Amino acid sequence: MNDVLSLIEAKKKLAAEGVVCKIIGDENAVFSGIASIGDALPDQAVILRPKSVKEKTLVLINELSAKKVAAVITTSELAAELKDVPMLVTDDPRLALAYLVGPQRAGGVHPTAILDQCVTLGDNVCVGPYAILGSSGLSANHHGEKIINTPHRGNVVIADNVTIGAHTVIVRAVMGATEIGEYSILGHGVSVGHGCKLGKRVMIAPGVVISGSCTIRSGTWIGPNASIRENITIGKGAFIGIGSVVTRDVGDDQIVMGNPARPVTRTKKPW
């Protein structure tokens, strides 16, 4: 984002995307770009959002109070801690950032990615460098001294607005289809086994391994380097912690962590 915007212009731009916000201070205050607190210049805006550890949030507030910036995009809770600076207040400052620094990336397949003919892509799908979509996977059968791999004759179906990171592998189904639901994001180096069904808005961090025939329902977050055993079902809105090894089904909105992954009690989800 290189354009100069006033706070009122930013508010209108966000409103067009359905993001509700309000202005505290001078609505005509202008900013040229958005930067981190440490790097921000006096004519730039910064994002201030709560950290999981309260002490880290206080450090950011103190750092921001000691320097001059053009505007702050923050939550109503943190806005109460700031003085003498124009603010754009919204429930999700990072979402506001995503829209303000747009436009959103257009779909496209990187020239180094490999897509088998069995792959169907929806609209506005992004496929990163060296991704492999539609390869055959491992479905081993023991026959005496032999190991016979079952041929994979199914498909891969990627819905609209999916992002697939670099070096990610999505295996075609043995029969039927491996499916990735719309607005899902798969980070770099993810492996999705044959016949998996991912719902809408599934977020998968880098390094995750999902074994074959798993069902990952809509709105689930899977943290970095987690591993999911074959034939597992993970419910809607679940959260799988970093490095977890999932060997049992996970219920809707459940949070699990550890090896093996076990439910944990939290008052709010970590994301």
List the catalytic residues.
Answer: 194
Instruction: Please list the helix, strand and coil fractions of the chain in percent, rounded to the nearest 5, in that order.
Output: 10, 30, 55
| Element housing 191 (H / E) | strand 191-192
- Yes or no: say if 107 and 128 are a contact pair by the CB < 8 Å rule: no
Centre a 10 Å sphere on the Cβ of residue 199 and count the other Cβ atoms it contains.
Answer: 21
DSSP state of 65: H
Beta-carbon contacts of 128 under 8 Å, excluding residues fewer than 6 positions away, are 110, 113, 163, 164, 165, 166, 167, 168, 188
